[in-house]
Amino acid sequence: MPGRPGTELAAGVVDPSLYASDPHPLFARLRAEAPVAWNEERGFWAVTTHAEVTRVESDHETFCASKGILVDEIGVSYPSPPTILHSDPPAHTRYRRLVQPGFKPSVVRALDPVVRSRAKALVDRLSPGEVTDVVPMLAVPLPLLVISEMLGVPEEDWERCYEWSEAVVPGAVDWPEERKQALLAEMTDYLVNATKVRRAEPRTDVLTELAQAEIDGEQLSDAELAMFLIQLLVAGNETTRNLIAAGLVALAQAPEQYQRLRRDASLVPSAVEELLRWTSPVLSFMRTATRDTELRGVAIAAGEPLLMLFVSANRDTDMFGPTAHRLDVGRQPNPHIAFGFGNHFCLGAALARLEGRVVLEELLARFGRLEVAGDVERTGSHVVAGMRRAELRFTAV
């Protein structure tokens, strides 16, 4: 629609080519010139500032999730929410109460030894001095092993979990649509059936928790089971993988920051937060206005979608000051919104933080230096900051 703010600048915000290279110069201009900008081609508002993204996230009555969270879903309607992310209160509150116990901090803390033994075994396979693609060697297997184990998927099926989660994330792989749909159907059948088996043979895993869960006195329907399981499997894989791969590339590109961590390992937790801010593994999610409103002086009409660009908000100088564009492993405070904000705040945040911390600790203990030694290739997704390849060299202590 002519006359709307930022139409020229916002034209490229979901272009794959933007995310395959460096999107930050465009976001800096959007934040400065049109923080709420209209994308004419797909028909949505691009929201790029920290204050406005958090405002949208904080007000689910005005900005709902149930009309889709991805630009590809504009105009689509669902008989029931395909993921918990697609629900609003009160349904969302009920769903969240069901899955939250499996991810609370005490449960996640108890996973430390599992995560550490998996991470140690993977780090042991890295050969000092050689060019190593950390995507297949470390970033893909660690979250996959951990989430599959938490769910209760047997080891022989972990390879299939990988293909399933690849097929579901938009832009992650360029497989034909039919193959992706077939994999989605296979994943749904597999997980729903596995849950039913747990009703007869309970174990201590998330599959059993969901098998036994009830909403208003009734067991979960197949659609609800699929919703929880697919989301946990996919969310537990794709995001943490990219935190690890893109985070290690960032450290390799800022060797003084890696050396700071080597000198002072107590900085590892704040380094994980900074790598979350820096890499924003989830780049953006969408909401839809439920009524006429305004955002930063821009009129938004009922029914219009808004794309919240976490990746841009996480470099906003109004929030992070003049050093927003510098990687600082000691940054305090660090109010990044890589895990979102408000009622949908990432359920797996504690688990992702644990994986990030353990990987860094294991690498710092073994390697004195890391550097980029070959190709670094990003996917063109505007949803997940995917890494196809990240060739690094680790030098022994």
Task: Summarize as ranges the residues that interact with ligand HEM (CB under 6 A).
Answer: 57, 84-85, 96, 147, 231-232, 235-236, 239-240, 243, 281-282, 285, 310, 338-342, 344-348, 351-352
| Complete DSSP assignment for 233-256 | HHHHHHHHHHHHHHHHHHHHH-HH
Phi, psi angle pair for 335, to nearest 5°: -80, 50
Q: Counting every residue, how long is the chain? A: 397
DSSP structure class, residue 172 = S
Q: In this complex, which beta carbon is closest to ligand HEM, that of residue 9 or of residue 311? A: 311
Q: In this complex, which beta carbon is closest to ligand HEM, that of residue 84 or of residue 187? A: 84
The rounded distance, in Å, linking the Cα atoms of 5 and 8 is 9
Closest separation in Å from C-beta 188 to ligand HEM: 17
The rounded distance, in Å, linking the Cα atoms of 389 and 123 is 17
Count CA atoms within 13 Å of residue 136 on its CB side.
5
Q: In this complex, which beta carbon is closest to ligand HEM, that of residue 9 or of residue 232? A: 232
Give the largest CA-CA distance in the chain: 62
User: Is there a contact between 387 and 134 (Cβ–Cβ < 8 Å)?
Assistant: no
Q: In this complex, which beta carbon is closest to ligand HEM, that of residue 9 or of residue 53? A: 53
The rounded distance, in Å, linking the Cα atoms of 387 and 376 is 8
Closest separation in Å from C-beta 148 to ligand HEM: 11
Q: Who's near 159: CB < 8 A, 6+ residues apart?
A: none
Closest separation in Å from C-beta 166 to ligand HEM: 16
Count CA atoms within 13 Å of residue 302 on its CB side.
4
The rounded distance, in Å, linking the Cα atoms of 247 and 268 is 12
Strand partners, 299: 294
Closest separation in Å from C-beta 190 to ligand HEM: 17
Closest separation in Å from C-beta 91 to ligand HEM: 11
Closest separation in Å from C-beta 81 to ligand HEM: 9
User: Is there a contact between 247 and 278 (Cβ–Cβ < 8 Å)?
Assistant: yes
Closest separation in Å from C-beta 290 to ligand HEM: 16
Closest separation in Å from C-beta 316 to ligand HEM: 16
Q: In this complex, which beta carbon is closest to ligand HEM, that of residue 238 or of residue 328? A: 238
Q: In this complex, which beta carbon is closest to ligand HEM, that of residue 183 or of residue 352? A: 352
Residue 173: name the closest of 141, 140, 126 by CA: 140
Q: In this complex, which beta carbon is closest to ligand HEM, that of residue 68 or of residue 281? A: 281
Closest separation in Å from C-beta 17 to ligand HEM: 23
Q: In this complex, which beta carbon is closest to ligand HEM, that of residue 35 or of residue 102? A: 102
Q: Is 217 helix (H, G, I), strand (E, B) or coil?
A: coil
The rounded distance, in Å, linking the Cα atoms of 328 and 267 is 10
The tokens for 46 are 């691009």
